[in-house]
Amino acid sequence: MAQGENFGRGTSGSGRMVLVEFVSANPTGPLSVGHGRQAVLGDAIAKLLSAVGYTVSREYYYNDAGRQMLVLGESVRARYLELLDEPSEFPEDGYQGEYIRDIARALVEQQGESLKGAADHLPFTQKAEEVIFADIKSTLDRLGIRFDNYYNEHTLYEQGLVDDVVTNLRQQGLVYDHEGAVWFKTTEFGLEQDRVIIKSSGEPTYRLPDIAYHREKMRRGYDWMVNVLGSDHIATVPDVMAGIKALGYEPEKVTTVIHQFVTLIREGQQVKMSTRKATFVTVDELLDMVGVDVTRFFFLMRKADSQLEFDLDLATKESQENPVYYVQYAHARLCSIERQAREKGLDPDALSGVDYTRLELEEELALLQAMAGLPSFLDGAAEALEPHRIVFYLQDLAAKFHGYYNRHRIVGEDQELSRARLALAGALRVVFANGLTLIGVSTPETM
RNA sequence: GCGCCCGUAGCUCAGCUGGAUAGAGCACCGGCCUUCGAAGCCGGGUGUCGCAGGUUCGAAUCCUGCCGGGCGCACCA
């Protein structure tokens, strides 16, 4: 207990440098529920690694050029022209969300009709990126997530690092030209087929800058790199790892955490999510409905490998029943006990002379044992990159405590016993506070 | 067709680097507020751990095959 907020913090990381890359959504639209899961998962992993002694950096990698952004810009342009009653052609695979209209409206207000004859999509794309990135960052902010670095793919091109990768690979004979495109011999690394890294149009595919980016991570000297990705990006991993290996670095230093999709249930129906369609639910909407604590807790209640079913009706309507309150209530209850003790003249923080041998009940020993196991428990969770274990640990500890509380008085007639139990309660309060903080959930003193 | 993930109680899921009678929440039924917070506690489960083989003293856990669901298999990211 004397360790206070430091209790439970392991040392297995021993100061090693680890980079956690997550979210990495390109600014084409607001964060959807799927991104939300990744954001919360990545952030919890970062917090967990930090808690066991790693020096952690969080990074958001994005690309604000390329085809996606072109389509985005053209989508805005079409809406802009619509607002001006000009003839327009909405891209076939354009972004249909209402936010595109909002951006177009803003452009009309700020620029009037001056962009009517714009030569290209750039002014539209730029405005869209500005607005959308601000939105994404505000959503992340609401979730309590901060990044240490936003890495723009542009940087790689500006510094010639992309070309350099091609040159390097070509010198090693790992690259060849075929049908106007440049191919990387991924089959040399045991993969099924070779992959195009530069299209016949001269543009690189995502693989090339991705490889260059990972080489930069390697060069920056991290001991460990964790990438959090959605299951739809799973196919990119082997190619990038092959690239890293080809360039002389150790792919073993990279661990990829793949999380499965979030299935949304609304009014008993499954909601299919698509960034381009207007049907997806945003993280902002989720936060409006259930709040940060419930959102974070819910996203961490399942291991990354499992698909996560998020029943919006249940989450909104029955939020009182949500397990997050069960754990928070344990914390609030412990705070309340300490308040009561102070009113009766007992100082919960005065630990000297406490006779711990008075804690002899089976339940008390079980609580002590559970708390004592926290450091090694966290080491295990960190090593496995599985923050959901913390959620289960807290629920379990809360159940133990609530049961104990209902059967036995903490502050009672016997002063010695009361002091010993208060010390136990204080330790529990600290463990709940630290655990909840670790998953980014608040620690209310009253509810 | 190939690769990865999942398949455990009515529902949503833990447990899976092998170990004793397989757990939680929700839902359902019945109890508990004159003493530290009832957002709580106590009691109530006949589960083919998807199926079939295999390894082992021992398998929900490891291996193989099959079935069912998800995600991939681009000169999109």
Residue-wise pLDDT tens digits, A125-168:
999 999 999 999 999 999 999 999 999 999 999 999 999 999 99
**Nucleotides of B strand lying within 7 Å of any protein CB atom:** 2-7, 12-15, 17, 24-27, 35-42, 69-77
Q: What is the DSSP letter of A253?
A: G
Residue A441 φ/ψ, nearest 5 degrees: -105, 140
Residue A282 φ/ψ, nearest 5 degrees: -90, 160
d(Cα A215, Cα A248) in Å, to the nearest integer? 9
Fold of A14-152+260-320: Rossmann fold (3.40.50)
Q: How far is the CA of A305 from the C1' of B5 (A)?
A: 6
Instruction: Please say if the pLDDT value at position A268 is more than 70.
Output: no
Q: How far is the CA of A227 from the C1' of B18 (A)?
A: 30
Count of CB atoms within 10 A of residue A271's CB?
16
Whether the CB of A343 is less than 7 Å away from nucleic strand B comes out as no
Nucleotide nearest to A199 (CA to C1'): B75
Nucleotide nearest to A328 (CA to C1'): B39
Q: Where are the domains of chain A?
A: 14-152+260-320, 322-438
Q: How far is the CA of A322 from the C1' of B25 (A)?
A: 9
**Predicted pLDDT of residue A11:** 65
Nucleotide nearest to A305 (CA to C1'): B5
What is the average pLDDT score of chain A? 90
Among A409, A434, A349, A440, smallest CA distance to A46 is for A440
pLDDT digits (tens, 9 = 90+) for A412-445: 888 889 999 999 999 999 999 999 999 999 999 9
Specify which residue's alpha carbon is closest to the C1' of nucleotide B2: A192
Q: How far is the CA of A381 from the C1' of B16 (A)?
A: 15
Which A residues between 126 and 185 have a beta carbon under 7 A from any strand B atom? 178-181
Q: How far is the CA of A387 from the C1' of B52 (A)?
A: 35
**Would the CATH topology of A14-152+260-320 be identical to that of A322-438?**
no
d(Cα A216, Cα A206) in Å, to the nearest integer? 16
Specify which residue's alpha carbon is closest to the C1' of nucleotide B26: A321
Nucleotide nearest to A311 (CA to C1'): B12
Which A residues between 360 and 389 have a beta carbon under 7 A from any strand B atom? 380, 386, 388-389
What order do you get walking across the sheet with A195-198 strand by strand? A175-178, A181-184, A195-198
**Predicted pLDDT of residue A42:** 97
d(Cα A244, Cα A210) in Å, to the nearest integer? 10
What are A137's two structure tokens?
């960052």
Specify which residue's alpha carbon is closest to the C1' of nucleotide B73: A235
pLDDT digits (tens, 9 = 90+) for A331-387: 999 999 999 999 888 887 777 778 888 988 889 999 998 998 888 889 999 999 999
Instruction: Please say if the pLDDT value at position A2 is more than 60.
Output: no
User: Average pLDDT, stretch A296-314?
Assistant: 88
Whether the CB of A105 is less than 7 Å away from nucleic strand B comes out as no
pLDDT band at A5 (very low <50, low <70, confident <90, very high): low
CATH number for the domain whose boundaries are A322-438: 1.10.730.10
pLDDT band at A311 (very low <50, low <70, confident <90, very high): confident
Nucleotide nearest to A210 (CA to C1'): B77
**Predicted pLDDT of residue A142:** 96
Whether the CB of A313 is less than 7 Å away from nucleic strand B comes out as no
Nucleotide nearest to A304 (CA to C1'): B5
Nucleotide nearest to A384 (CA to C1'): B17
Q: How far is the CA of A373 from the C1' of B34 (A)?
A: 40
Among A20, A83, A432, smallest CA distance to A226 is for A20
